[in-house]
Amino acid sequence: MKSSLFRLGRQAMSAPRALRPSDGAACAALHRASFAHPWAASEFEALLTDSACFGEAIEAKSRLAGFVLSRRALDEAEILTIVVDTRLRQRGCGQRLLAAHLSQLSALGVIKLFLEVDETNEAALALYRRLGFTQLGMRKGYYVKKDGLRANALILGRAQT
């Protein structure tokens, strides 16, 4: 069965699919464009070969346009990272990825989900709140920005239904 496509501006986006170890280099490239301290392709490949880790990817024009990666332990999971191509943000790509991921987590029996997010990332916070995440705590000075300053991480959680 072919992936359905939907339109986001001029980009044709694929339906979410499973993230694969062979996506490691593309994951690293997207991560590098979005984070001050990006992960290497080898780190993504190692995570994606770990049976506890899995994720969803979305493509535009046959290239990785976004992904979400989690690690599961029993009935809990943590979103390790989520990235959407900077040119495709604020167009529903992240919400589509997370919705697919939440469905996958439920199918795996996950009942609690956690993540950390920079407290200044308003777009991400709005998305997480729309999907039912609430703040559980804070890690002071957790993220180091490109300019060397530190930002707090909010710890968010969500009960799976």
pLDDT digits 0-9 by tens, 113-128: 999 999 999 999 999 9
Q: How many domains does the chain have?
A: 1
| pTM as predicted | 0.87
Asked whether 110 and 77 are in contact (CB, 8 A), the reply is yes
The residue range of the domain holding 60 is 5-159
- CB-based burial, 25-62: b 16+ in 10 Å, e otherwise: ebbbebbeeeeeebbebeebbebbeeeebbbbbbbbee
Which pLDDT score, from 0 to 100, does residue 9 have? 46
* Position 3 pLDDT exceeds 50: no
> Once rounded to an integer, what is the mean pLDDT over residues 102-107?
94
- The CATH code of the domain that includes 91 is 3.40.630.30
CA atoms of 140 and 64, how far apart (whole Å): 32
CA 152 from centroid of its chain's CA atoms: 19
Q: Which residues are catalytic?
A: 116, 128
Which pLDDT score, from 0 to 100, does residue 50 have? 96
